[in-house]
Each structure stands twice: as structure tokens, then as C-alpha cells.
Amino acid sequence: MKSARLFVLTLSVGVVLHVAAHSTVVIADDSTLATHKEPVVVAVRRLTEPQYRQSIEDIFGEDIQITGRFEPERREIGLLALGSATLSLTAAGFEQYFNLSLDISRQVFSEQMRHAVMPCAPASPAEFDRVCAEQFISTYGEQLFRRPLSSAEVEARLDAAALGTEQSGDFYTGLQLALSSMLTAPEYLFRIERAEPDPENADNWRLDAWSRASRLSYLFWNTSPDKELLAAARSGELHTENGLNAQVQRLSSSPRVQDGIQAFLVDMMQIDGFDSMIKDATIYPKFNQLVADSAQQQMIRTLVDLLVVKERDYREIFTSNETFLNRPLAAVYQVPFASSEEWAPYTFPDSAERSGIFSQIGFLSLYAHPGTSSPTIRGIKLHEIFLCEHTPEPPADVDFSSVVDSSAATSRERLLDHMSNPGCIVCHQRSDPPGLALEHFDGMGQLRKYENGQLIDVNADLFGNKFVGAQGLGQFLYNDPRASSCLVRNVYAYGAARMPGSAERPYINTQIERFAENGYRVPALFSQIALTPEFFNVVIPQGAQQNTNNVASAASAQ
């Protein structure tokens, strides 16, 4: 027991030395050697399920099957991207990722696949070939960790591979262990962003080149940096204006940018939770999982087509009646479906009252109860998603005892009955009106004009702004400047994993103006933000390093 402990101790000393040597390699510029500061971790963001899947596909090919349960994600200030920076891994989650890692490595080194993956061939498949193993680990380690591995990191995997080869008598079984260990490592499962002292100003910190590469790659493609991006990080090119320009140009002009922008839209518009949506079957007999999945697809297709493919004005998501339908959806929307394709473009007529992304059954059914609509929930979500206005938690001391059940026929009247209560009115006068404008859609988003035999009134009054129905709501949102500023802030927060601070307000305001000047085009906004030095700002977290100024900006040199 004692000797084992001793060994662990010497091993960790070895690790320290290796890393010290490694960090000087990362900082390419000689001038940085003058400073004694070491790189610090500024963000630890857990990979999302799509990012995990896409990274594996990009690195090992699309034949790899990934079957397993991923940890639930968490939304903070409206974005999963912000939540991902607060999440760790639970024991059950670790177990899942561990099993995934074993399963993926087994597939990578299967007879059929190993030749496509291996950068070299072992001297003998039955014996450990250190040189070849190291080549594999370094090559794929860099792609998985999004930076070169330290020699200690390589060494640890070589040990696992050697042990595995020895015990199994098979080189590839040994490498499976090495690969599994990289896939299980926090350096793969989390995006670990590091800052280093700025060589041009030793008091400042800047995001290191590898972390810059990751920010760009996940923003534009929602996956790990490819080899070209890693090369630009290695050469230091990414720290130069020209180098950054070239990479942003390359990433944004690739068809893959659709994946990146789509991932952002799905996050910001909260297009998730469809596979666990619950509707009461006796009240909504048309609801089933196929409808739910189709409704989700419809929202995504509509947004991507409008904003990425056609590059239209962002604000048209509130007014456009162009969409896509498949057969299950057509049945719910009660329109004929004649296409032989699975999905077909469709334009709703005015009488359908379907204009704006929020008038699709995806949004309407997601934000409703299992057996009824909910103007309140819809109103809260409209504010939160499109205007970045968060409704505070209901106060605990609201006197519900004075609330009496209403026997009124429509939800609207029942809600208005509650409006006489001063405790309720504070929040509900803000949350409810946009939702009331959508009351022509029931709890699963089906068009209706009557509720319990009574005609439904869809007039709404939001602090003096009057509008009627979904179309009126769409026009209101189209004209509301909060909508585009909300989008700009979200793009920044999504990429940088933090909401811009108050010091960055002038910067964000400039971005909002430029967004408008560019015709409110979302792809242009992505490039515009990625090209600003502020996109790579870092905040040194408390406790990471003493003697540092709190907010460091790469822009300070400008």
C-alpha cells in the first residue's frame, strides 16, 4: 500500500514537470517567457449531445454508432450554452460516457474501420508498438482535446495501451483503451478554455490560440476544430487579424455553417423537450410522438430556410407565413398534403392565422398544459425567448386564498377574472397579453375560434400597445427593437459562454447597429461578431490566479 502511494506521488510530480514544459510550447512568442504567469482556465463548458456526436463523426467518420443517454442540460438566462458552463458530470452520467467511450473505441478498431483510422501500422499486430501507438494518440488526442497533448497525457495513454496489448495479446485492443481514456477525459467532455498572458501587454490576458479555435469552430459549425483551424492555432495565425479573417471567411462560407447557426437557433428559440412532451390523449387525440417530432422539425426547417438559406431579415420570423409540412403535420393543420417528398414547402393563407414562428404547433403545444392552452406560459416564453425579458419567479406571498375559481367559458375570461387581484396583476399584465393574442390555438396548437361555445377574443393590450391575434403579435414583435438586440446579445453569449457585461454595452450597441445596417441578416451577424476582438474577451475566474486584473481584453491593444 505504502509503495503504491509513493508511486502515485512521483507520478504526479512528473506530470507537473511535463505541463510546465508544455505551456512554454503553447506560447509561441518568445517575449512571453519574461512573464512568470501560467495559463489559467477561464471556462469549463460541458459538450452538448449534438457537439459530442458531431465531433465523433468528424474525427472518426459517420459510421460510428453512438447509442447512449446523455446528461440533461441546463438553461441559464435563456441559453443552454450558458448553462453548459455551470454543469459537471454526475455518477450516472459518467457511467454513460464511460460506456460510450468503450463502445466507440471498439467500433473504431474493428477489423473494417481500423485501417481508415490508423496513421501507421504496428510492427506486429500481436505486440505493443510504442512508436505507432504514440502516433495514434498524438494525432487523435489533438483533435479530441482540441489542443496538443502534453507528454504526460500521451504517456498515461501509452501505459494503458501497453497494458492492454500485453494482457490481450492484441495491439488494437491496447489502443482501444488509450482511445477510451481520451474519450472519457474531462479535456474531451468539457471545452476547457484557457487564457495566457498577452505578449503585447504583460498585465493583460488573452484567450490562447487553441481556445480561440474552439470558440470559432463551435460557433460556426458546432463541432471540434478541424485540422486547418488547429494548424492556424499552432502557427499563431489566429492571433493575427489576417489569420482570423481568413478562418472566419472559410468557416462562414462553408455549407457547414448551417449546422452552427441551426444549433444556435435551436438553443435560443428553446426548440427542445419534444421527445418528452405530454398531452392528455382524451383531450388531444391527434397528438402523438410523430406529431411532436414533426413539429420540432418544422420549426427548425422554417428558421434555417428563412435565416440561413434565404438570408432574410431576422425580424421576418415574426411575420413570415412560409413553412414546411410533412404528412402528420398536414393532418393537424388540416391542409391537404400532395407531395411525394417527405417534406414540402407550404405557405399558410391569411385565414389560417399562421404567421410567425410562434404560430406553429411546435411552439404552441410546447408552451401549454397537457389538457389546455396557457396564455401565461406562452406570454412568459415569448418575452423570454424573443425579447430576452425574463419574468421573475412568482412571489410566494401572493394571497391565493382570495382567488376564486372562475366559471367563465374562455381562458381569457378566467385569466381576466384573476386580474382583479393586485398581487397577480403585476406580473400577469405583462405576461398574459401576448399569450392571449394566441388563444385561437388550443393546447396542441390547433386552430379554434370558440371555447366552450363562446367566441374567443384575441385582442391584446400590452402596456398600451394594442394588437390582434397572431398576426398582430407578429407585427408588434417585428417593430420592437428589443427583438434584434436580444438576438445580438444571445449570439455573443452563445459563443463566449457568458452574457456581455455592462462594460461591454457600447460594444454590443455597435454590433446591434451594424446588424441593422447589414439588413438584419443572421449569418452576417455571426461573422461580424467573430471578427471583433471582444468576442475573445476573457474573465479570469476567482481563485484561478492571484495578481490579475479581473476583466482582460484582447482589444485593449487597439
Residue ranges in 435-464 that form contacts with another protein under rule CB under 8 A = 443
Query: Cβ closer to another protein: 305 or 389?
Result: 389
Please give the biggest Cα pair distance in the chain: 83
401 binds another protein (CB under 8 A): yes
Q: Which of 33, 126, 278, 425 binds another protein (CB under 8 A)?
A: 278
- Grouping H, G, I as helix, E, B as strand and the rest as coil, residue 550 is coil
Which 65-94 residues touch another protein, going by CB under 8 A?
69, 71-72, 74, 86-94
Task: Return the residue matching grid coordinates 485593449.
Answer: 556
Cβ atoms of 511 and 486 closer than 8 Å: no
At its nearest, how many Å lie between another protein and the CB of residue 427?
A: 13
Query: Cβ closer to another protein: 208 or 259?
Result: 208
Q: At residue 387, what are phi and psi to the nearest 5 degrees?
A: -115, 0
CA nearest to 314, candidates 531, 490, 509: 490
Query: Cβ closer to another protein: 152 or 531?
Result: 152
Size of residue set near another protein by CB under 8 A: 95
Q: At residue 455, what are phi and psi to the nearest 5 degrees?
A: -60, 135
At its nearest, how many Å lie between another protein and the CB of residue 189?
A: 8
Rounded to whole angstroms, the Cα distance separating 548 from 551 reads: 9
Query: Cβ closer to another protein: 276 or 351?
Result: 276
478 binds another protein (CB under 8 A): no
131 binds another protein (CB under 8 A): no
Query: Cβ closer to another protein: 395 or 519?
Result: 395
Rounded to whole angstroms, the Cα distance separating 355 from 474 reads: 7
CA nearest to 444, candidates 380, 381, 378: 378
Query: Cβ closer to another protein: 157 or 234?
Result: 157
At its nearest, how many Å lie between another protein and the CB of residue 361?
A: 16
**What residue ranges in 425-539 does DSSP mark as E strands?**
450-451, 454-455, 459-462, 465-468, 538-539
Query: Cβ closer to another protein: 71 or 313?
Result: 71
Taking residue 139's Cβ as centre, other Cβ atoms within 10 Å add up to 17
Instruction: Pick the piece of the chain touching another protein (CB under 8 A) from 247-255, 279-287, 508-516, 528-536.
Output: 279-287
At its nearest, how many Å lie between another protein and the CB of residue 273?
A: 5
474 binds another protein (CB under 8 A): no
Instruction: Pick the piece of the chain touching another protein (CB under 8 A) from 241-249, 337-345, 396-404, 429-437.
Output: 396-404
Grid coordinates belonging to 148: 496538443
At its nearest, how many Å lie between another protein and the CB of residue 185?
A: 5
Which 5-24 residues touch another protein, going by CB under 8 A?
7-8, 11-12, 15-16, 18-19
Segment (H or E) for 324: strand 322-325
Q: Which of 117, 160, 332, 512 binds another protein (CB under 8 A)?
A: 160
- For 196, half-sphere exposure in the C-beta direction (CA atoms, 13 angstrom radius) is 20
**Nearest-10 Cα torsion for 336, 342, 348, 349:** -30
Cβ atoms of 356 and 469 closer than 8 Å: no
Cβ atoms of 443 and 372 closer than 8 Å: yes
500 binds another protein (CB under 8 A): no
Q: Which of 102, 246, 335, 352 binds another protein (CB under 8 A)?
A: 102
CA nearest to 116, candidates 184, 154, 63, 52: 63
Query: Cβ closer to another protein: 113 or 403?
Result: 403
Rounded to whole angstroms, the Cα distance separating 188 from 181 reads: 10
127 binds another protein (CB under 8 A): no
545 binds another protein (CB under 8 A): yes
Which 513-542 residues touch another protein, going by CB under 8 A?
540-542
Query: Cβ closer to another protein: 454 or 479?
Result: 454
Which 286-315 residues touch another protein, going by CB under 8 A?
289
Query: Cβ closer to another protein: 9 or 231?
Result: 9
At its nearest, how many Å lie between another protein and the CB of residue 202?
A: 17
Query: Cβ closer to another protein: 73 or 237?
Result: 73
394 binds another protein (CB under 8 A): yes
283 binds another protein (CB under 8 A): yes
Rg, Å, the chain Cα set: 27
CA nearest to 34, candidates 233, 197, 146: 197
Cβ atoms of 80 and 48 closer than 8 Å: yes
Q: Which of 371, 472, 500, 533 binds another protein (CB under 8 A)?
A: 371
At its nearest, how many Å lie between another protein and the CB of residue 94?
A: 4
Query: Cβ closer to another protein: 226 or 451?
Result: 451
Mask for 169-208, x = binds another protein (CB under 8 A): ----x---xx-xx--xxxx-xx-x-x--------------
Q: At residue 374, what are phi and psi to the nearest 5 degrees?
A: -145, 95
396 binds another protein (CB under 8 A): yes
Grid coordinates belonging to 179: 482511445
Mask for 219-258, x = binds another protein (CB under 8 A): ----------------------------------------
Rounded to whole angstroms, the Cα distance separating 344 from 370 reads: 29
Q: At residue 110, what are phi and psi to the nearest 5 degrees?
A: -65, 160
95 binds another protein (CB under 8 A): yes
Rounded to whole angstroms, the Cα distance separating 455 from 500 reads: 46
Query: Cβ closer to another protein: 188 or 536?
Result: 188
Query: Cβ closer to another protein: 190 or 324?
Result: 190
Q: Which residues contact 325 (CB under 8 A, 6 or more apart)?
A: 298, 333, 335, 337, 343, 344, 346
